[in-house]
Amino acid sequence: MSDVHPIEVESYRILRSRIDLSGLPPLSRAVTERIIHATADFDYVTDLMCDEAALAAGVAALRRGAPVIADVAMVASGITGYPVICKIGDSLSARLARTANLTLSAAAVRLAFGEAGPGAVWLVGCAPTALNEIMTRQVEPALVIGVPVGFVGAAAAKDDLRASGLPALTNVSEKGGSAVAVAAFNALLRMVKDEADTSAGESSGPSGAAQ
């Protein structure tokens, strides 16, 4: 298991002293706790819409090395230890946005899908239009972490995501943001890495000697 910084250990101790989430399914608990740890906002307990089956599909996708796509650079920069596709700064995105009359975020989604194809994990922490493009393009995602923030279009886009039937993690309110998207993803990635570490330890055996 990867080392955990003492500050993070203490943060989780405080969090769990204030609220007991042990009744949640394991992936939903991991994601919810990680988001509260990242935001210090306990309202996410009731604001998040966690689907355990969808989260399990995301974990399975990461286990097999599926592409991960972020809507903005701030989301991409928060993820270490896993490659992330982010086209928001690509000059082709700006050109496509102009020629196709799209927002830059929607154009970046379209380009990213062309590179990644179906079965990817999508992270949207900023732009509702990116979330709308994901639904419009029928990208066949493994999981969409859709938590854009803002007063204009964010809550409506998340409502549409829940109604779309796509495997998704989202929240009800206008809050959200890059830190929330990153926290949710990192919770799932940690589960994958912890599983891999456990399997490696078991396969090596107590002595490590060949049989």
CA-nearest of 61, 60, 122, 55 to 87 is: 122
Nearest to 63 by CA among 157, 191, 173: 191
Token pair recorded at residue 19: 């609220």
As separate numbers, helices (DSSP H) first and strands (DSSP E) second, the chain gives 10, 5
**Catalytic site residues?**
37
What is the DSSP-derived secondary structure letter of residue 48? E
- What order do you get walking across the sheet with 168-171 strand by strand? 48-49, 168-171, 143-146, 121-124, 68-70
Please give the sequence-ordered ranges of beta strands (E in DSSP) within the chain, or none if there are none: 48-49, 68-70, 121-124, 143-146, 168-171
